[in-house]
Amino acid sequence: MRGVDRTGARILLALDDDPLATTVALADKLGLARNTVQNRQRRMESDGTLAAPSVRVRADRLGRPVLAFVTLEIGQVEGRRTLREISAVPEVCEVHAITGGADLLVRVVARDSEDLYRVTRALLSCSGVVRSNTMLSMVEVVRLRMAPLLRETAESDE
């Protein structure tokens, strides 16, 4: 797994400013060779540095404005099966194994409170799920972001 260096950070920040910029436009803006920009972009896409474009889609634009975080306690015997079943629920956007009183933190989206209840029931019906706790997001105070870290990397002396 490679890290993002100064040049990569500069390219990513330029793409934040203009996501549809061509390779030539980025190269001109950053004072880099076209091949450098093109190779860096391809490498970041293929090595997993860049997430899939679908991750950028806002769930509310898909008719799912309700965001909730569900903690799940799971039995350890059916772990892989449990994770497969949880991942099969379309409203599950993200799952993290966590420390503390629960085993998993699941980010889910829903159409409304009734739909959230349905999603939560679907999670509870997954093999190995013992208990859940749902926390509703009232307001997104800080959106998911990487720009401050990219700026820090882009401005570093390496």
Nearest alpha-carbon partner for 67 in 49, 91, 90: 91
- The pLDDT-based confidence of 10 (bands split at 50, 70, 90) is very high
Residue 123 confidence class, pLDDT cut points 50, 70, 90: very high
CA distance 98 to 47: 25
How do residues 73-88 score in pLDDT, each as one tens digit? Answer: 999 787 899 999 999 9
Residue 108's contacts (CB-CB under 8 Å, 6 or more residues apart) are: 67, 68, 69, 70, 89, 91, 92, 93, 116, 119, 120, 123
Per residue in 127-137, pLDDT (tens digit) is 999 999 999 99
Report whether 105 contacts 95 (CB < 8 A).
yes
Q: 74 has which bridge partners?
A: 129
Q: Is the pLDDT of residue 158 over 90?
A: no
